[in-house]
Structure 1
Amino acid sequence: MISIIASDMDGTLLNGKQEISEANRKAILEAQEKGVQVVVATGRSYEEAKYVLKEAGISCPIICVNGAEVRNEEGQVVKTNAIEEEKALEVMRILKDLGIYYELYTNQGVYTEDFERGIQSIIDIFKTANPETSEQAIRDSAQERFEKGHIKVVEDYSEAFSNGNVVYKFLVFSFDDHLLKKAKDQLENAGGLAISASGRENLEVTSEDAQKGIALKNLIEEKGLNAEDALAVGDNLNDLSMMKVVGRPVAMENAAEEILAFCGYKTSSNEEDGVAKAIYEALEEKSAAVD
């Protein structure tokens, strides 16, 4: 019987408008009413994730920045897994030498040195998750993230290390597949890092301890639940680690091939309320088991 549900956001819980559909919202609230724990696991920062959840009236723990930060239902930080400063500086040197664009996710927010490339990196993530949505609509949504202060533009990333900031994630972006692979190889050789992706032209670099799967496993154990009774639903490579720790891994119809190949369960796309359908299917099985 399902006792806990973990859902990714972009390309999963969110539709092409970057909103939680009414069907998904109702399914989550119904699951919570039935005593099922719900957690959101995302590559987004807490501020970005919380904004969308608050609009939908959903309150739950959030695994942020791929597990680099975990917040409880009240929004309090209960766990962090930052990249050690020496390792973060090594990553910055590698990326600078390669001349590849990246953003810094820190405990004080998200930073970029290049506004337009920052917009383009968001478009890549959104477009991968929502291929049917027009690029202009995605660009408007990306622009909104900057206007609301979810991403801060700085002249130099050294500013992001001020005031006790620590680095949670590097979001690396390039249209050059060869350059992106070269970056991935060098970062993997650096050791101590987890390398995943949330779009076709990006890499997500965190501490090796900052993965959705590790954070979810810890949360399940802390709540005294069984991982075999957990459901995780997602669409991209940064979701794979949590798929591997649950008894019911569910792939979105729009998921990456690796996710579709791994998961034993499938649901509809993020434009067709796939999360709601996955939840209701699990709840029906739970009800039948009780009967």
Structure 2
Amino acid sequence: MIKAIALDLDGTLLNSKKELSKENKKILYEFYKKDYQIIIVTGRSYNATKLIVEELGFPLIAICYNGAKIIDTEKKEVIFEKPLNEEIVKKLIELSREVNIHLNLYQDEKWYVENINNWQTEYYRKATGLKPEEKNFCTFDSYLMTKALFIDENIELKRLEERIREKLKLDVYLAFSQERYLEVLDGEVNKGLALEKILKIKGLKLDECIAFGDAGNDIEMISMVKYGVAMGNASQDVKNSASYLTDINDANGVAKFLEKFLEKEWN
């Protein structure tokens, strides 16, 4: 029996305009009223996630930064946080400057960039609605960061990913949350591990959870649960890791799947 629903945001619960449809909002509220555990699992910061939580209109667990930070939105408390260590962050800063690829750093729910005027900063600002803080990356008091994010064209990021994996050999988790976003987190962090942690805290099992996703950073959680669902717009790697396939995000794939798959549990 299903008792929990885990949902990625961008490309999954949200449409291409980064909007929450009335269909998806309605179905999730119905499940919330029936005491299902609703869990948002996103690469976004908590500040960027709060906007969607407020629109949904009910408290839930928010797994942010791809699992590096977990928040109970009802109690407004952090359940878990695992930042990148300082030496790794310093190496990422050096690499960013060496290869001239834009780097975002996240600390205490603030988004830092060294160049506030480039296209990468503007691209991310429009996508998230967040306001960047311009800062020389040599001037942090602490280099513990919740997440690092490289932004560039996909071909450049793939070269960078290979360099980090093969040459730097850093103990990090790397994943593409979108084609132009290469996420870097602590090696013990990913969406799957964070979801497993929350389900255990709530006394739930992996085979009692449905998880929806579309991008590479969703693969761990989709392949981990019994009911892993890939969106119709998902990458092929995600579809290969899923047990089920639903419609695209712009056609309310989440709502369509939940209505059909779980209808029998409501009767």
| Fold similarity call, TM over 0.5 | yes
Which consecutive unaligned segments of at least 5 residues does structure 1 have?
123-138
AA of the residue aligned to 1:70: I
Q: Are 2:144 and 1:166 aligned?
A: yes
CA distance in 2, matches of 1:207, 1:108: 17
Cα shift at 1:218: 0.6
- 1:117-148 per-position Cα deviation (integer Å, ceiling 9, x unaligned): 334543xxxxxxxxxxxxxxxx8x44x72xxx
For residues 24 and 88 of structure 1, do their structure 2 counterparts lie closer, same or farther at Cα, with a shift above 3 Å needed? same
Distance across 2 between alignment mates of 1:4 and 1:56: 16
The corresponding residue for 2:64 is: 64
Task: Give runs of aligned pairs for residues 134-213 of structure 1, distance below 5 A.
Answer: 141-142=126-127, 145=129, 150-159=130-139, 161-162=140-141, 166-175=144-153, 177=155, 179-189=156-166, 190-213=169-192
Match of 2:252 among 258, 267, 273: 273
Secondary structure, aligned partner of 1:198: strand
Unaligned runs of at least 5 residues, structure 2: none
Structure 1 residue 92 displacement after superposition: 1.6
Distance 1:182 1:16, change over 3 A: closer
In the other structure, the counterpart of 2:215 is 236
The Cα shift of 1:208 comes to: 1.4
Kindly tell me: are residues 176 and 274 of structure 1, through their superposed partners in 2, closer, same or farther at Cα, counting changes over 3 Å? closer
Contact persistence 2:113–2:121 (CA under 8 A) = no
Q: Distance in 1 between matches of 2:13 and 2:58?
A: 12
Deviates more, 1:19-28 or 1:279-288: 279-288
**Whole-angstrom CA distance in 2 between matches of 1:261 and 1:120:** 33
Tell me if the contact between 1:233 and 1:250 (Cα under 8 Å) persists in the aligned partners: yes
Letter in structure 2 aligned against 1:233: F
Which one has a larger percent helix, Structure 1 or Structure 2?
1
TM-score (normalised: structure 2): 0.91
The answer to whether 1:117 aligns with 2:119 is yes
Name the CA shift for 1:237/1:120 in 2 (closer, same or farther; >3 Å). farther
- Answer with 238-247 or 187-196: which moved more: 187-196
Q: Distance in 2 between matches of 1:153 and 1:60?
A: 29
Secondary structure of 1:28 counterpart: helix
Name whichever of 219-228 and 186-195 sits farther off: 186-195
Amino acid of the structure 2 residue aligned with 1:39: I
Q: CA deviation at 1:168?
A: 1.5
- Cα gap change, 1:208 to 1:256, in 2 (>3 Å): same
Deviations 1:136-185 (A, max 9, x none): xxx8x44x72xxxx2323141245x34x56311111122261x3233112
**Alpha-carbon separation, structure 2, partners of 1:181 and 1:105:** 22
2:240 maps to: 261
1:103/1:118 contact within 8 Å kept: no
Which amino acid counterpart does residue 89 of structure 1 have in structure 2? Answer: K
Per the normalisation by structure 1, the TM-score is 0.84
In the aligned structure 1, how far is the partner of 2:23 from the partner of 2:242? Answer: 23
- The answer (yes or no) to whether the contact 2:45–2:109 under 8 Å persists in 1 is no
Bigger CA drift: 68-77 or 273-282? 273-282
What is the number of equivalent residue pairs in this alignment? Answer: 263
Higher relative contact order (Cα pairs below 8 Å, separated by 6+ residues): 1
Hey, what's the Cα distance between the residues in 1 that align with 2:261 and 2:114? 44
Distance 2:57 2:77 in 1: 18
Q: Where do 1:24-103 residues align within 5 Å? A: 24-74=24-74, 75-103=76-104
